[in-house]
């Protein structure tokens, strides 16, 4: 629960934390947020409200003042932080709102330094929401490639199309912004407060950490009741005259000073309000980093995947004595779920770590059923080799990928193989190496391709052309 605290002065009145309930329930099964289910039933709304008071009026005014002064003098210069003069035009406000929207979506689960380059490329290609609304999902995914969490990009595009279809103006209030696909409480609060100066709060991981330390919160910050309380406190603190700057100040403080592992308390402007620091000074066994409390981490699911990089050689390849005319098969993932709508090499999820032979059988079935590539009928195997393996980490999945290179010589032209009247087959296409190198691929797909290219350089001379004898030998495999 929140630590029961009187107003900040005097700090000596802070009561000791009773941890007995947590000790009694430590063996109870946790839910997906790492919150103890039995403990959660004990966290009642009235208990939370009684256990922690809001900041007093005096504290609120002082905290606003010190944070805004600190922010004015110490904030990072970032491309999406633009300042408008008093005579700004409506188009400038719209463009700023659009920039805030794009940046805040990109910054979710991603470091600022990584986002800067992506943001600049995005705004150069689609400087306004009207430009973005004309883009295709594939174009958006190409610009987004490498940022991860690709649903964010899809929602940005869908949101832009919806706004333009309904008149072209970005909603100016948080409540209206939440009606746009992909915009929740945090993003709506950021856009409304920063671009349109609506006095609404924002709560992200940085804000939670700052408030948890200022109020010495001892409950799991992922509990829904506790999250609601954080929003209430943030709403109390937001400055009515400079809401956007104050929200950014609170987030900036958490990102640069009140960091998770090494907070710089000596340079923090809010030390006089920090209960966690006061406790740490009086108790040698306590530390500021004890707050917010750490929830039980959810164990990642382990998945296994066989990835087959299929390189197709047509008859023209052998006649020209040139491998540059070969093409690679790419498959489009389903429109829903993980990495929705993105291109990848043919991949098959397998139950567990299996033998190379079992993985190849699974791959053969996938190629025949979904891509109509029948290794025995429509093409000959030129070579088939295991390239290597690696682990790719998603937020909730530990995916081990086994990579193989399958080079096939088609009995017809590559373009003829792609043509199919069967609507039930999955979406796929063939691209040459130049197109593949310039495509916006996910990090894991790019790594697979790089692995294959390095493997080919080590094993096969650049001017090598497979012979018919080689074809007959490998066909038996």
Surface-to-core class of residue 283, CB atoms within 10 Å of its CB (0-12 exposed, 13-18 middle, 19+ buried): exposed
User: Does residue 316 carry a catalytic annotation?
Assistant: no
Return the beta strands (E) in 323-362 as ranges.
327-332, 343-344, 347-350
Tokens of 421: 């009247």
DSSP string, 103-141: HHHHHTTS-HHHHHHHHHHHHHH--SHHHHHT--HHHHH
Give the tokens for residue 141.
């995914």
> Are the C-beta atoms of residues 229 and 2 closer than 8 Å to each other?
yes
288 contacts 277 by C-beta, under 8 angstroms: yes
| Active-site residue, from 104, 142, 198, 311 | 104
Q: Are 468 and 321 in contact (CB under 8 A)?
A: no
Neighbours of 83 (CB within 10 A): 7
Q: What is the token pair recorded at 318?
A: 């052998």
Burial 49-66 (b: 16+ CB within 10 A, else e): eebbeebeeebbebbbeb
Identify any residues that bridge with 385 across adjacent strands, giving them in sequence order.
405
Could you tell me where the beta strands, DSSP code E, fall in 51-181? none
In 29-125, which ranges are continuous DSSP H helix? 37-42, 45-51, 57-74, 90-107, 112-125
Q: Which helix (H) or strand (E) covers residue 387, if one does?
A: strand 379-393
CB 224 within 8 A of CB 33: no
Among 457, 451, 378, which Cα is nearest to 410's? 378
Q: Which of 367, 385, 389 is nearest to 376 (CA)?
A: 367
Task: Answer yes or no: are the C-beta atoms of 243 and 190 closer than 8 Å.
Answer: no
Q: Which of 145, 294, 113 minimizes the C-alpha distance to 212?
A: 294
Question: How far apart (Å, rounded) are the C-alpha atoms in residues 386 and 405?
Answer: 6
Catalytic residues: 104
């Amino acid at each position: 629960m929140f630590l029961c605290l009187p107003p900040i002065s005097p700090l000596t009145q802070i009561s000791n934390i009773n941890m007995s309930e947590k000790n009694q329930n430590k063996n109870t099964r946790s839910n997906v947020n790492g919150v103890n289910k039995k403990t959660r039933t004990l966290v009642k709304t009235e208990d939370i409200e009684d256990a922690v008071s809001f900041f007093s009026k005096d504290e609120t005014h002082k905290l606003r003042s010190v944070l805004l002064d600190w922010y004015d003098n110490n904030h990072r210069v970032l491309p999406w932080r633009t300042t408008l003069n008093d005579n700004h035009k409506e188009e400038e406000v719209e463009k700023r709102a659009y920039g805030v929207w794009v940046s805040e979506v990109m910054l979710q689960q991603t470091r600022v330094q990584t986002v800067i380059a992506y943001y600049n490329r995005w705004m150069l290609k689609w400087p306004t929401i009207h430009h973005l609304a004309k883009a295709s999902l594939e174009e958006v995914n190409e610009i987004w490639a490498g940022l991860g969490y690709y649903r964010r990009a899809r929602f940005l595009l869908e949101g832009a199309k919806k706004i333009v279809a309904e008149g072209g103006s970005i909603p100016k209030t948080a409540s209206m912004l939440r009606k746009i696909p992909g915009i929740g409480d945090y993003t709506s609060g950021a856009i409304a407060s920063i671009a349109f100066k609506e006095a609404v709060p924002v709560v992200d991981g940085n804000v939670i950490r700052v408030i948890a330390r200022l109020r010495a919160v001892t409950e799991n910050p992922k509990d829904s009741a506790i999250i609601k309380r954080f929003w209430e406190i943030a709403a109390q603190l937001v400055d009515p005259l400079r809401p956007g700057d104050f929200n950014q100040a609170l987030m900036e403080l958490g990102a640069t000073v009140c960091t998770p592992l090494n907070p710089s308390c000596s340079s923090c402007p809010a030390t006089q309000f920090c209960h966690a620091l006061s406790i740490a000074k009086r108790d040698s066994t306590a530390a500021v980093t004890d707050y917010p409390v750490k929830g039980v981490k959810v164990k990642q699911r382990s998945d296994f995947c066989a990835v087959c990089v299929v390189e197709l050689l047509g008859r023209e390849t052998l006649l020209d004595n040139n491998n540059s005319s070969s093409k690679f098969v790419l498959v489009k993932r389903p429109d829903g779920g993980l990495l929705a709508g993105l291109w990848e090499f043919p991949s098959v999820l397998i139950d567990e770590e299996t033998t190379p032979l079992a993985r190849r059988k699974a791959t053969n079935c996938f190629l025949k059923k979904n891509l109509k590539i029948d290794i025995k009928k429509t093409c000959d195997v030129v070579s088939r080799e295991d390239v290597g393996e690696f682990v790719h980490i998603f937020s909730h999945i530990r995916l081990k990928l086994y990579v193989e290179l399958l080079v096939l010589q088609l009995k017809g032209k590559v373009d003829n193989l792609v043509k199919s009247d069967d609507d039930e087959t999955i979406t796929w296409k063939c691209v040459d190496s130049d197109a593949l190198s310039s495509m916006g691929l996910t990090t894991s797909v790019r790594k697979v391709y790089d692995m294959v290219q390095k493997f080919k350089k080590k094993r096969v001379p650049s001017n090598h052309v497979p012979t018919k004898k080689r074809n007959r030998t490998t066909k038996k495999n």
